[in-house]
Every structure is written in C-alpha cells, then in structure tokens.
C-alpha cells in the first residue's frame, strides 16, 4: 500500500469519526457564529471612538478566523490522540504500515477541510453582519492551511503528554484563550503595556493575524513575510507533533 492510499484511508476514517460526533460538528460551526454575533452585531465597533473595538470591522476578521483555526484543531487532534492512547490504538497502529507522521497528516487534512468550510461561512457572516469591507485574497488559503496544520501539530503534543481527554480539553483552553486575545486579533498592540508588546512576536497566531489582516485590508506585500514565518513555525510544530505521538501505549 502506497503512502497516498494509507493517508487517504486514515483521512476517510477520521472524517467519518468527526461526522459521527454531532456535538463536535455543531460547535465547530456554531461557536464562531456566536462570537461574530456578540462582537460584530451586539457590541459592534466604534471606529471614531476609543476602547477595545475602536478599529473598523475588517480589522477583526483575523480574530474571527482565529477562533476556528486555533480552537478546533488544538482540541480535536489533542482529544483524538488522548482517545487513541486510552484505547491502546497506537499499539495497534504500530503493527500497520501507517506511520505516525502519516497519521498526523491524515488528521490535519480532515481539519483543513472542515475549517476551510467554516472559514468561508465566517467570512460571509462577517461581511453580511458587520458590514466589513475586505479583499478576498488567494493568500487567505495558505494562511488558513498553515494555521490549521500548526495547531494540529500543537494538539498532537498536548494529546501525547496529557493524562486524559479531559486533561487535553483543559490544557487546550488554557493555552488557546490567552493566545486568542494576545496575538493581535481582537486587541490592538497599543492597548497593551509597552513592556508586553514584544511578547506578541512569540505567538504563532500573531503571524497568522498580521498576515490575514494584510491580505484582506492591505498592504498585501506585508502578508508574505508573515506567511514565511508561519510556514517555518508550522513545519516545526508538525515535526514535533509527529515525533511526540506515542509508538505504543
């Protein structure tokens, strides 16, 4: 069996497993909608005023996309790894030709597809509900793909070191919530203490947010540097995630 056939078989199995979990399907698409309705329709932006939402609606597009790019792969892959460990599935996997890297690639492809659809829905809702004026650049595709892959790798690490599925969920939320709001998504750097602003460069989500913002609002040239950094970080996180996956339980 070739690598393509192995990855394809695992991808189909992972997708079917996701579809069977109706609660996961529901919240994957419903949670970002709630965020948009709260921030975009109820709170709204105040471009002429001050405070947290003082930027034009288009400024917050990376934040809305980051909700699914960050939370979904981090929790889904982490939970899948923890569930496989509890069921001794990695021990069975070790007897098959499917490698750990191929397993992670298959689950990453499933997340890319799911989150790609969710991102289209989010962009449509943002434009419709908030009236944001954005450019639908082709650069959104690699940013979303790389962002999802990066946090799939991160999720694999969490799932490999957490002691249970509950532990993965707790750890992913503990990591994801600070990253979501401290990565130039919803909060502008100027609202943060001066001493803390350099720390924004330590978050991989910052490069996603900056790049998506440049791709949708301009200048587009600024997106390429962030895309390059995100690509390097993605390779690093995915490689670490693949190595961290247990061979046996």
125-164 in b/e form (b: 16+ CB < 10 A) is bbbebbebebeebebbebbbbbbbbbbbbbbbbbbbebee
pTM of the prediction?
0.89
Identify the pLDDT of residue 48.
Answer: 54
Closest by CA position to 162, among listed 61, 86, 58: 86
DSSP string, 36-75: HIIIIIII---TTS-STT-S-GGGGHHHHHHHHHHHHHHH
pLDDT digits (tens, 9 = 90+) for 82-116: 888 877 777 777 778 888 889 999 999 999 999 99
pLDDT digits (tens, 9 = 90+) for 117-128: 999 988 988 888
Identify the pLDDT of residue 209.
Answer: 96
Identify the pLDDT of residue 93.
Answer: 75
Let me know the angle formed at the C-alpha of 169 by 227 and 199, rounded to the nearest 5 degrees. Answer: 40
pLDDT digits (tens, 9 = 90+) for 150-163: 999 999 999 988 87
């Amino acid at each position: 069996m070739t690598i393509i056939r192995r990855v394809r078989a695992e991808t189909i199995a992972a997708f079917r497993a996701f579809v069977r979990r109706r609660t996961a399907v529901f919240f994957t698409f419903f949670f970002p909608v709630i965020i948009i309705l709260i921030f975009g329709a109820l709170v709204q932006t105040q471009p002429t005023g001050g405070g947290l939402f003082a930027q034009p609606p288009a400024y917050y597009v990376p934040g809305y996309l980051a909700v699914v790019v960050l939370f979904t792969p981090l929790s889904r892959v982490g939970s899948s790894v923890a569930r496989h460990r509890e069921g001794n599935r990695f021990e069975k996997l070790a007897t098959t030709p499917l490698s750990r890297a191929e397993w992670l690639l298959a689950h990453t492809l499933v997340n890319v597809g799911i989150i790609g659809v969710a991102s289209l829905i989010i962009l449509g809702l943002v434009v419709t509900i908030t009236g944001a004026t954005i450019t639908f650049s082709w650069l959104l595709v690699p940013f979303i793909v790389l962002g999802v892959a990066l946090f799939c790798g991160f999720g694999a690490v969490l799932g490999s070191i957490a002691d249970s599925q509950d532990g993965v969920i707790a750890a992913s939320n503990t990591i994801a919530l600070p990253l979501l709001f401290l990565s130039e998504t919803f909060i502008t750097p100027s609202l943060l203490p001066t001493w803390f602003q350099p720390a924004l460069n330590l978050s991989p989500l910052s490069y996603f947010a900056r790049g998506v913002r440049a791709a949708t609002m301009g200048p587009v040239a600024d997106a390429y540097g962030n895309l390059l950094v995100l690509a390097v970080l993605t390779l690093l996180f995915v490689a670490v995630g693949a190595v961290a996956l247990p061979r046996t339980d």
